[in-house]
Structure formats: structure tokens, C-alpha cells
Amino acid sequence: MIDRTTAMQLLETAKKVRRNAYAPYSKYHVGAALLAKNGKVYVGCNVENASFGATNCAERTALFTAIADGVRDFEAIAITGGLADTLDEGILPCGICCQVLSEFCTKDFPVILANADSYRILTLGELFPHSFSSENLS
């Protein structure tokens, strides 16, 4: 599990990177901060596109950056977002992001979700109990 201080720090980082979100179409701005086991933090924001399907979510932006940096072991992810300047208290990672996270993270991986003043933590297994995995391909 993740301690409160670390969770709050990660959320602050997610809130900061959220300012860089490029979301002119949905106006829903998301920031993510992914803590690696080596202590490094990888950030991501959503990057939308006029061809909507080309949009990349904040969580995947952060994860792909970590993978490109040669890092594959993760401790936790913090996610914050909402329409324009508001904070969506019910924010949840989308199914595609959960599937992508499940490639590298176990079911007990903590997903920290921002509330207005605090946060809640769900595990990846709670959010996405049945992922498609390499076992399906063997």
C-alpha cells in the first residue's frame, strides 16, 4: 500500500501536469503521475486530436514515457481531472488505460483518484478485474 504523504505528493504532481492537458474538444483536462519502484515519477496529460480516436489519455502518456525510459516496475498512479478548472470527484481511469496498466501492474496496484480535498484509492483489480493478458495468447 501507499502512504498518505506519498499519495498526496503524487496527486499534487498530477494536478500540476494537468495544466498542460491539450483538450480543446472535450474540455476535460486530466493529469497523471506514475511512481516507479526506483522512485522516479513519470507524468502525463491527455492529448486530444481533431480525429478524436487519435486522442491519448493522461495515464497512458505517463506509462508510455516510463516504458520508453526503460522502467517497467511501478508503485502507484495518481489521477486527477475534470471539465476545465473543476475537479471531477468521480474520476476513473478508462478501460483502455486499465488494460494498458494491467500489462505491467499487478491487481493490488494502487490507483489514487483525486477528490476536492482528499483522495480515494482503488486497486487496479477492483477497477478492472478481468484483463486480457499474455496468458490468453499462450
Cell of 113: 483518484
Query: What gap in Å lies between CA 71 and CA 74, rounded to an integer?
Result: 8
Instruction: Give the burial class of 73: count Cβ atoms within 10 A of its Cβ; 0-12 exposed, 13-18 middle, 19 or more buried.
Output: exposed
- Over the window 25 to 64, marking each residue x when it contacts ligand THU by CB under 6 A and - when it does not, the resulting string is -x-x-x---------------x-x------x-xxx-----
Catalytic residue, chosen from 12, 48, 59, 75, is 59
Binding piece for ligand THU, criterion CB under 6 A, among 8-16, 93-101, 120-128, 130-138: 93-101
Q: How far is the CB of 19 from ligand THU (least distance, A)?
A: 14
- Angle between helix axes 58-68 and 95-102 (nearest 10 degrees) is 20
What residue ranges bind ligand THU (CB under 6 A)? 23, 26, 28, 30, 46, 48, 55, 57-59, 93-94, 97
